[in-house]
A and B are shown apart, each in its own frame.
Chain A
Amino acid sequence: MTEQAIETVSLGKVYAGEVRALEEVSFRTGYGEVFAYLGRNGSGKTTTIRILTTLTAATTGTARVAGHDVARDPAAVRRAIGVTMQHAALDETMTGRELLGFLAALWELPRGAAAARIGEVVDRLGLGGVLDRRIATYSGGTRRRLDLAGALLHRPAVLFLDEPSTGLDPQSRRALWEQVRELRNQGSAIFLTTQYLEEAAQLADRIAVLHGGRLAAEDTPDGLRRGRGGLRLRVRVDRRPDNQGWITRPVISAGQAHQVLDGLVASGAAIAEFHLDEPTLEDAYLALTGTQSSTAPPAAMAAVPA
């Protein structure tokens, strides 16, 4: 059997005051795969990452990372993982070079090997130009890249990225995505939490959706889209003073869309334009997390026959 990069079985966490942050969460992810973990604020994403990175103990269930049990052998897990937290965890009094040197020394990398490895990650993440500046002067994107550089120093097999692109400008975000893809292509397992559906759609090989501390779904992005979203009919209707512009309606098939259009025509509406859209990841996510869709049909749609 191929060893999984991460495997959890019925993972649960109850904080003081009986606050249930996580319940019965089970999933697996392999090497050379980006596993995106989606959920709203407070859904349990960070709790999961803290358990998997050995910073927090699970209340129930088990978790193995890189073949090691997080509860029984946390030291082995830590040697195998790289982690960037929600906020870049850096010492602002240092320069980037000093920080990487400090971390490499604590990883007990021999001096020559440390210098070579720092050079490698600095080149890969494009940090050469800022390395001798104080971290306090870095932009948000540069801090993120330095944080990632620190997490990569010891060549971790499994990388945890907790909302890595929060607060980044679009260019920095795309550059980060490129780096994530490159790491994935080199065989690393990447566990990524995010609130950005576009990020998950761009990067993930598999997606898990967490809702209220429970796993609502786990699938490929396409699987999630098809399995949960349905189709969406968008119609632009003219000559209806109460209903100018676009109206949107979820439908289960092209046949049902046809019926809706027929109904509109029969009711005297002049259809100027219509589209039958494939479900988006956002549709699937909103359906799974029980959130009102931003593309929900307007009230006037009630007048449209099914």
Chain B
Amino acid sequence: MHELVSLARQTRLVFGRSLRAGLREPALAFVFPLAFPLLIIGLFSQIYRRVADLPGFPAGSYLAWMAPAVVLMAAMFGAGHSAMGLVRDLQTGFLDRLRLLPVRPAALLLGRLGFDMARVTTAGLGVLAVAVALGAPLRAGPLGVLAIAVLLAGWSLGYAGLYYVVGLKARSPEALTALVPLFLPISLLSTAYVPAELLPGWVRTAAAVNPYSHVVDAVRAAMTGTLHAGQLATAVIAVTAAVALTQLAAARRFAGLVHRD
């Protein structure tokens, strides 16, 4: 029990440090994950407005279709911030200083990841509010919004893991910057912007196995009030798989780093 209390306390301290650093660089920490999705929602909802007129298009407007993708985009755009901070700690030797303190390595990761989740989920819900104000549906009640927040937080955790794996391997901020465009193939090879029925065959196949499709479909269903247990379970499994895959790899790499070489 004491161990858990101590871990929670140390995680809170690391979270506080990340929060303070974020508040001192608000453009990177808070504005960036909000600004780009808002730009995309503004542009795409106008440029592709008439896509909704295609026969068989399953939503009332293109904005309604794309809004969930843009909400989740906040998770992908905000993902690298804390990993960047960790790489900086590695480069400056501050991580070694922390290793010499009686701190559990898990707290060093959990505090950062917790901050990423809180920051990105807030940004994503902000994007959701703007999308709804522009006309996207939100027919789900508080439970639906909670489901969206949980999926958003989970997806941010899974996606952030990629940044940690690459950052801990390459130990350079440049490598993390190079990851930013990754959101494009992940989004385009999914049902984020085009319904599965309208995708070419091979893209439809890719979208079917892309976990992101299942998450974005569940968020869309939550917004339209049609989310059912099976769909939510599939999305939760997809998120869990993404988190397990990336965060376990990140934790392993971090453990290798903090373990004496």
Chain A bound to chain B: yes
A260 and B98 CA atoms in complex are apart in Å by 60
Residue of B nearest to A75 (CB): B102
B103: chain A residues at CB < 8 Å are 106
| Contacting pair B99 A55 (CB below 8 A) | yes
Contact with A along B66-103 (1 / 0, CB 8 A): 00000000000000000000000100111011111111
A107 touching B101 in the complex, CB below 8 Å, given contacts A89-B94, A89-B96, A94-B20: yes
Contacts of B139 in A (CB 8 A): none
What sequence of 0s and 1s flags, for each residue 145-157 of chain B, a beta carbon within 8 Å of any chain A beta carbon? 0000000000000
Partner of A55, one of B21, B101, B260: B260
Give the distance in Å from the alpha carbon of A98 to the alpha carbon of B23 in the complex. Answer: 14
Q: B20 contacts which chain A residues (CB < 8 A)?
A: 93-94, 98
Check if A55 sits within 8 Å of B98, measured CB to CB. no
B252 within 8 A of A: no
Closest to A107 in B: B101
**Assuming the A-B contacts A75-B102, A78-B100, A83-B100, are A56 and B93 also in contact, with contact meaning beta carbons closer than 8 angstroms in the complex?**
no
CB distance from B67 to the nearest CB of A (A): 34
Knowing A87-B93, A91-B21, A93-B25 touch, does A103 contact B260 (C-beta < 8 A)? no
Contact B24 A93 (CB under 8 A): yes
Task: Give residues of chain A (122-146) contacting chain B, Cβ–Cβ below 8 Å.
Answer: none
A150 at interface, CB cutoff 8 A: yes
Encode contact with B along A60-104: 1 for CB under 8 Å, 0 otherwise: 000000000000001100110101011101111110001000110
Query: Would A57 and B260 count as touching, CB distance under 8 A?
Result: yes
- The listed residue (A53, A79, A89, A106) touching B92 by CB distance below 8 A is A89
Interface residue? A105 (CB, 8 A)? yes
Report A-chain residues with C-beta under 8 Å of the C-beta of B100.
Answer: 53-55, 78, 81, 83
Say if the beta carbon of A108 comes within 8 Å of chain B. Answer: yes
- A79 to B102, Cβ gap below 8 A? yes
6 CB contacts below 8 A, A to B, read A56-B260, A79-B102, A85-B93, A91-B92, A106-B103, A150-B97
